[in-house]
Every structure is written in structure tokens, then in C-alpha cells.
Amino acid sequence: MYSNPQPQPAPTSPETAVATTEPATRTLSGAEATLHALLAEDVDTVFGYPGGAIIPIYDALYDFKEQLNHVLVRHEQGGIHAAQGYARSSGKVGVVFATSGPGATNLVTGLADALIDSTPLVCITGQVFAHLLGTDAFQETDILNITTPITKWNHQVTDASEIPEALAKAFYIARSGRPGPVLIDITKNAQMQKADFAPYQPCTHIRSYRPRPVVRPEYVAQAAALINQAKRPLVLWGQGVLLGKAEQEFKQFIEKSGIPAAWTILGAGALPTGHPLNVGMLGMHGNYGPNVLTNECDVLIAIGMRFDDRVTGRLDKYAKQAQVIHLDIDPTEIDKNVKATVPVWGDCKETLPLLTELVEARSYPKWRQRFLDHDAEEIAAVIQDELFPTSDELTMGEVIQQLNELTQGEAIIVTDVGQHQMVACRYAKLNHTRSNITSGGLGTMGFALPAAIGAKYGAPERTVVAVIGDGGIQMTIQELGTIMQTGVNVKILLLNNQFLGMVRQWQELFHDRRYSFVDIASPDYVTVASGYSIAGRRVDNRPELQTALREMLEHPDSFLLEVMVTKENNIFPMVPQGCGVGEIRLK
């Protein structure tokens, strides 16, 4: 991925060979060594917030302004969500700086989110002086033990000399295998200390860590044999396809095998939403066809997905009739929730081409027609009214539908958590991979605004639209300050139903409409935005909607568009909690 700065090849004479293969060391502070490591790892952007225990790194950063773009966020949670957005849109490792104590603990939600959604991050936290550890020093917190369950790896550095190796391991671990967040805690003395550093060596191997499983061809062959005798095969794909950068390999597999394919929300976009074999979204609020037909397929091929409970519903009623092929890089996912008939352990970038070669070119016209029939039912019962309503009030679905018409599926859609998220994921048109950025596993409200900022830094050439509800935006609204100061161009599409809508929906359906604390008041968002010098507009009627969306997209800078939508809409279809996917309800 990056060149290994090995010493030059040894010259012929043995005497000079000794002299030149001895790498030239240079004296740096730990803080400077930290920044040199970031540059060597091809980092261009860091999201962070300074504080006492990380001042030496910020002091060194003063001299690196040309090489490293530092984005000053308004809260460390905003910083880490921005880094997640950056990582998800760019495919690179997101980097965060935070100070000790509260700075570090503010990263906790983002770390948990990044771990469950396999997002590669390297978080660097300052820590009190090594000799003060355990003394309850000012802004001391045991961030290593706090973050152990929510990091792929974490490590504390108490001496400057350890910094390059720790960071090299951090980047290697964060991006290899199943990616995830890594936290490196550097004590202040280690940042200040001077030491002699050899040229930076990226890490390419750790003896106890096997990120790239050796693919066993016999399992690939078994999988192909199962697929070749299938009558009604169904592919379920997840984010593993994106993380493995295997979109092409996946498309070739689908197109040759002719198997209909459905996606988890983190997998969205790996195959364009308009592709004829893309049969839609899985899960609790997914499409009718793929949910119902999961329980009718004869071979289920899961690719880079983990059978989350929001995808499977009740496990004892999930795909019991099917033989399951599970392709995953992480062995703990095999048999974790759904027993695999044939496990194919490996990176799908490697396993998919092997499988494609062995499967027969087929098409399943009758079986695919079943999906189309279910689609027709879903359109009649749900989609028509959601996207083209005849009532007075606006629906979330029609906003996304109008947005699709303007973006033509070219934008990156970043969503928060709740009803608007399900609507956006269900209806957004996505032509490209890495175009749907959302908090899937953790369901972190407040994710979208900062993640959209980071997504724009990770893909500056693309339009980034953050779709957010009136609950979520109030959780991290301070990041409007980051937009103001950096001038980053993010389109904020606020869908305001004046409720914490998803909880309200559950209270309506399952708790006798006892609306307990879901009625949330909002500030005047357009005024708030203007306080941050961000242009904005509010619409509440159909005739204005498209011009307002157009104004938002065509505005040269960031823009906040608040759309007042109908208050008590429910998201359907829905697999109620405790039900099987076959029991999905259309109303």
C-alpha cells in the first residue's frame, strides 16, 4: 500500500556496505516522531482537539501545518465520528488526537461505534507524565482499561523510543484483517523526551496476529458445488465487500452466477442500487422480498456480513430450510449466529474470484420473478404512498426521492440513527461504493453531522449530504462550529418530524401509544445555522421542496435545509421484535 523505506541496496564493497546499511538516525522529540510516523503512514488529515497532556504534539504540529491538515472539532466525540466518516468515504485509516481524561473519555462512543462497524481508526491520546500514572493526577484517567473492550488493540507508550513501533503496529492492526479502531496513549514525558530515531519502518507482520487467513480451496469447491446445484440461491452481502475493496470481484461473482443479492445497510452501494440483481435491503426495515424469501431460498450465501439480530430477526425462524455458505475474514463470525454448512474463511477479495471461477453461469428467471412479485406488493402497500404521497404533509420518503432525482445517485449519503436513517437507506439511490455512511451496529445518534464533515475530507470531489433527524442533530450540533471555521462543504438535510420518531413508532405499535418522552422541542435551526454563518432554509410544503433541495445542492458552501415532515409516520415494512423475517409486516 505504501513503499517500505528500506535502506538502499548494499553497495558491492563490504566495508562501505556496513557503513551505508546502518540507517541514519536523527534526534527528535517523541511528539515529532509521532508526526513523522503519521506522514510515513500517508496520513493527510487529523481530527482533533488539544489539551494539557497533548500540548507537546500540538506544539510539534505547528511546524507540520503544510503537510498535515488538522481539523479542529468542537468536541472529541465529533472528532472521532469525523474520522470515522473520513475512513468510510476514503477507505483509509482515520486519525484522531485528543487529550487525557475527559478528552479521551469523549472518544468512547466513537470507539465502540468503530469497533462494531469495523472502521479503521488510530486514536492518539495524551496521558499524564508516566511517573504520575495511578496518582489521580489532573486529567488522569485509565483510558487503556476503559477502552480495552471497544478497541481492536490499544497500547500505552511511556518512553519516546517506543513511539514509532507502537504507531507502526497501530496502523497495521487498524487497517489489516477485519479493520477496527486502535488507541495509542502517549504520556506527556514521552512526547517531550528527545531520542535518536532510525528511519520509520512500517509494520507488516506481528507474529501472534494473522489478519489474512490462508484460503482453503476445498471449502471454496464445496461452496461452488452447493451453488451449482441450487434452485433458489440468495446472496446476502455486507460491509466486508467494501472493507475488502472487492466490489469488482463481487460484481463479477453476482453477474456470472446470476444470483439475486440483498444487502445489509453497511453493505449498501457495493453493487449499485439500480443493478438488476440487486434485490434490496435486508433486516427489520428492509425490503419485503429479500426478507420473506430468505426463508424460501435453498442456498444462502453470506458474504462479509455477520448475521446481526436486526438482519435475522428470530434466529430459530431464520433460513432454517437453507444450506448456508458463509464467506468471512473473521473466524469468530463463522457459526456465531447462524450455523454455516460451508464456511469459507478468508478475505473476499481472494475467495470471491476463486468461487466465481467454479460457479456455472446461470440465471434464475422464475426465482427472480418472486422478488419482483414481492416488490410489487411492497410498492402498492408502502412505497407508493411514501415516495409519492397524496396527503398534504411531506413524507421523509418523498424528500429522499426528490433528492435522488437531483443527485442521480452520485452523492455520498451520511445518515444519523432513527426513522430518517431507515428511509434514507431504503430509498437513496447509490451508484457507487462508499456512498452510504451510517452508524449501523451501535446506532449512535449524533453520528451524522461530524461523520459528514469527515466524509467530505475523505472524498473532497463528491457531494456529501448528511440526512439527520431533529433528535440526532441536537446531540452533536456543536460541530456546526467546525463547518464554520473550516469552510468544509456539507449539505445538511434535516428531516424534522418533531418527535424522536423511531421510539415513538415502537411506543405506538407495542406500548399502546403511551408516548413517553419522545416529544422533543427544537430550536430554530435556520437561525442557529446562520449564527454559525451557514446558509439555511426551512420548507414545509410540496411545491417548494424541489427548489429548496436544488438550492441546497447548488449553494457553493454548506447549507442546512430543514424539511418539516409529517409527525406520526411509521417505517414499514417491519419485522417486529421477536418475530422471524418471514413474519415481516407491510402495515
Partner 1 sequence: MTQQSIDRREYNITAYTENQVGLLNRIAIIFSRRKINIESLNTSPSEVEGIHRFNIVVVETEEVVRKIARQIEKQVEVLKVYFNPNEDVIWQEMALYKVPTDVIAERALVERLLREHGARAVVIRKDYTVFETTGHREETDKLLTVLQPYGLIEFVRSARIAIIKDSQGFHHKLREFERTEPSHEVSENDYLNSRDKVFTM
149 binds partner 1 (CB under 8 A): yes
Residue 505: CA atoms inside 13 Å, Cβ hemisphere, count? 19
* Closer residue to partner 1 in complex, CB, 67/135: 135
Minimum CB distance to partner 1, residue 34 (Å): 17
Q: Within 213-347, where are the H helices?
A: 217-228, 240-243, 247-257, 288-294, 309-312
User: Considering the rule CB under 8 A, would residue 134 count as an interface residue with partner 1?
Assistant: yes
Candidates 202-210, 289-297, 425-433, 459-467: pick the segment binding partner 1 (CB under 8 A): 202-210
Tell me how far apart the terminal alpha carbons of the chain are, to the nearest angstrom: 49
Would you name the residues annotated as active-site residues? 76, 138-139, 188, 502
65 binds partner 1 (CB under 8 A): no
- For every residue of 116-147, DSSP letters joined together read HTT--EEEEEEE--GGGTTS--TT---HHHHH
Binding segment for partner 1 among 9-17, 84-92, 148-156, 451-459 (CB under 8 A)? Answer: 148-156
Footprint (CB under 8 A) of partner 1, residues 25-64: 52
List 148, 204, 527, 541, residue binding partner 1 (CB under 8 A): 148
Strand 342-345 relative to strand 412-415, pairing: unpaired
Query: How far is 539 from 542, CA to CA, in rounded Å?
Result: 8
Closest approach, Cβ 305 to partner 1, in A, equals 18
- Chain residues 280-339 in contact with partner 1, contact rule CB under 8 A: 330-332, 335-336
Assess 198 for contact with partner 1 (CB under 8 A): no
Instruction: Rule CB under 8 A: say whether 255 interacts with partner 1.
Output: no
Chosen residue from 3, 145, 408, 516 binding partner 1 by CB under 8 A: 145
173 binds partner 1 (CB under 8 A): yes
Q: Where are the beta strands (DSSP E) in 233-378?
A: 233-237, 261-263, 278-281, 299-303, 323-328, 342-345
Which amino acid belongs to residue 234? L
- String of DSSP letters for 44-112: -EEEE---GGGHHHHHHHGGGTTT-EEEE-SSHHHHHHHHHHHHHHHSS-EEEEE-STHHHHTTHHHHH
* Least gap, CB of 176 to partner 1 (angstroms): 10
Q: How many other C-beta atoms are found inside a 10 Å radius of the C-beta of residue 385? A: 17
- Rounded least distance, CB 507 to partner 1, Å: 29
User: In sequence order, what are the beta bridge partners of 26?
Assistant: 197
159 binds partner 1 (CB under 8 A): yes
Q: Which helix (H) or strand (E) holds 187?
A: strand 181-187
In sequence order, what are the beta bridge partners of 467? 415, 493
In the complex, minimum distance from the CB of residue 131 to partner 1, in angstroms, rounded to a whole number: 4
144 part of the interface to partner 1, by CB under 8 A: yes
- Considering only the stretches 15-23, 183-191, 317-325, 394-402, report the one whose residues sit in contact with partner 1 under the rule CB under 8 A: 183-191
**Total site size for partner 1, rule CB under 8 A:** 32
Q: Closer CB to partner 1, residue 337 or residue 566?
A: 337
* Pair 137, 129: CB distance under 8 Å: yes
**Binding flag, residue 118, partner 1 (CB under 8 A):** no
158 binds partner 1 per the rule CB under 8 A: yes
Distance between CA 479 and CA 532 in Å, rounded?
10
- Give the residues lining the site for partner 1 (CB under 8 A): 52, 129-134, 144-145, 148-149, 152-156, 158-159, 162, 173, 187-189, 206-209, 330-332, 335-336
